[in-house]
Amino acid sequence: MHFSRYLSAMLLFALGLAAQAQEGARPRAGQTWKAEVTYVVDGDSIWVRSEPDGRRRKLRLDGVDAPEICQTYGPEARAAMQALVKGGPVLVTVRAYDRFGRGIASVRRTSDKLDIAAAMVEQGWSWTPVYQGRRGKYWRQEAVAREQGRGVFSEQTPMSPAEFRKKHGPCGAKAYS
């Protein structure tokens, strides 16, 4: 009698784990899908609800680094992101997943195919990081923003988000509300 209870309990536990694993399923890297932006965290991170399955997913824009929300120009970068993504669905292509489980993604508006990350850099609300001596993905857009003094580049020597995090650490959880 006790063994059958134990077996039943183990079976229920295993089924519960299987259900959790399915709930956490995520699109494969390289797959493009339609989504609605449900929340803008800051200038380079958003929450979306995917149309294929209705699940919410946190994404970080590929190829950019926007000011931290508690950093100078952080709120302005968030507002710029909100303006770019409001009013319609977006197309998402996840390149990879980071250590926090966020999709590192290319995000485009479906209405006009505007690359949101490129627009953020061109408007001066984000940097395109140099990696191992190679120019960032949006280096041309950043050059234009710097030349024209847009957004963060209106300052003589703006502090990059990477420098800010190194000096001050990440913003607290309060900053993301």
Element counts in the chain: helices (H) and strands (E) = 5, 5
Question: Alpha carbon of 107 to those of 18, 85, 92, 103, 133: distances in Å?
Answer: 31, 9, 5, 11, 25
Q: What is the mean pLDDT of residues 47-61?
A: 94
Query: Which pTM value belongs to this model?
Result: 0.81
Residue 19 pLDDT > 50: no
User: What does the mean pLDDT of the chain come to?
Assistant: 86
The CATH number given to 25-172 is: 2.40.50.90
Map out the domains of the chain as residue ranges: 25-172
CB under 8 Å to 99, separation ≥6 — which residues? none
Question: Are 88 and 35 in contact, with CB atoms under 8 Å apart?
Answer: no
Q: Which of 169, 25, 55, 167 is nearest to 47 (CA)?
A: 55
Lookup result for tokens 């977006």? 90
Name the token pair of 157.
């020597």
What confidence tens digit (pLDDT) does each residue in 74-122 have? 999 999 999 999 988 999 999 999 998 899 999 999 999 999 999 999 9
The predicted structure's pLDDT at residue 24: 53
Mean pLDDT of 137-148: 97
In tens, the pLDDT along 93-104 reads 999 999 988 999
Name the amino acid, one letter, at 26.
Answer: R
pLDDT at 170: 84
- 63 pLDDT band, cuts 50/70/90, is very high
**Res. 11: pLDDT tops 70:** no
Mean pLDDT of 9-37: 62
Exposed/middle/buried for residue 16 (C-beta within 10 Å: 0-12, 13-18, 19+): exposed
Token output for 20: 């959790």
Tell me how far apart the alpha carbons of residues 142 and 160 are, in angstroms, rounded to a whole number.
13
pLDDT score of 56 more than 90 = yes
pLDDT greater than 70 at residue 23: no
